[in-house]
Amino acid sequence: MQIGSFAPLIKKVKIFAKKGKVRIIHPVAVSKIIEVYSKDGSFLYRRKSPHKGSSWDIFDALLYAPELPLTKGVVIELILLEITEKRIKDGKGSWRRKGVSISDKEMSAFHESILFKKSKDFLCFIPFKKGEEFTAASLAKKTGIQRWKASRALYVLSKMKAVKRVRKKSNAWVYKR
């Protein structure tokens, strides 16, 4: 299971892939419930975190290892889930959390599992037809994601050779499937 970037895995995965199949499991929390407890363990309150993950977060992990899905024998599994984070108000945690420490994280609900066996499987993120030209802005508009996420996804997909950079239009790259 790999929670962060796939960059540290590049050399290891290539070595293991020569000996057999490798499955990288990448969990993404689509929602998070935060439970806060006092020092003595009594429950104080519960709230929903404003942070929401999505399947597009796979491109954050692949940003510095975009060629990893091209490696023969490598399968990437994206797991979307809901987590519950338990925190203790003990004064020892981060100043950002006002001294509240994170004590545990657990899965509270499983939403979906998406399997990527080859780079072409990532085309499920591109809602354009084969041969149709598009930019990061048009991808963002059509899918409802932020433009920077669309740019990041298209960079990774172009390095994977799933989409192709065709030309520049003003200051934006134009892509094709």
The CATH number given to whatever domain includes residue 155 is 1.10.10
pLDDT at residue 35, as a whole number: 96
Enter the pTM of the model.
0.86
Average pLDDT over residues 127-142: 95
Shared domain check, 47 and 113:
yes
Percent of the chain past pLDDT 90, that is, above it, reads: 89
How many structural domains does the chain have?
A: 2
Q: Do 105 and 89 touch, CB atoms closer than 8 A?
A: no
Shared domain check, 97 and 25:
yes
pLDDT above 90 (res 109): yes
Shared domain check, 101 and 39:
yes
Domain boundary among 117, 146, 168: 117
Shared domain check, 113 and 30:
yes
pLDDT tens digit sequence for 66-83: 999 999 999 999 999 999
Shared domain check, 105 and 45:
yes
Shared domain check, 171 and 98:
no
pLDDT at residue 10, as a whole number: 92
Shared domain check, 77 and 7:
yes
Domain boundary among 78, 98, 117: 117
Shared domain check, 104 and 47:
yes
pLDDT above 90 (res 4): no
Pairing status of strand 22-37 against strand 74-94 = parallel
Nearest Cα residue to 57 out of 32, 79, 83: 79
pLDDT tens digit sequence for 25-51: 999 999 999 999 999 999 999 999 999
Of the pLDDT bands very low, low, confident and very high (cuts 50, 70, 90), residue 94 is confident
Shared domain check, 54 and 135:
no
Percent of the chain past pLDDT 70, that is, above it, reads: 100
Nearest Cα residue to 123 out of 151, 98, 90, 156: 156
pLDDT above 90 (res 149): yes
User: 3 or 137, which is more confident?
Assistant: 137
Shared domain check, 147 and 98:
no
Q: Do 27 and 81 touch, CB atoms closer than 8 A?
A: yes
Query: What three-state secondary structure class fits 64?
Result: coil
Domain boundary among 76, 98, 117: 117
Q: Using CA atoms, how far apart are residues 143 and 141, in angstroms rounded to an integer?
A: 6
The angle at the Cα of 133, spanning 127 to 135, to the nearest 5 degrees, equals: 80
Shared domain check, 174 and 144:
yes
Pairing status of strand 43-48 against strand 74-94 = unpaired
Range of the domain at 6: 1-117
Shared domain check, 52 and 96:
yes
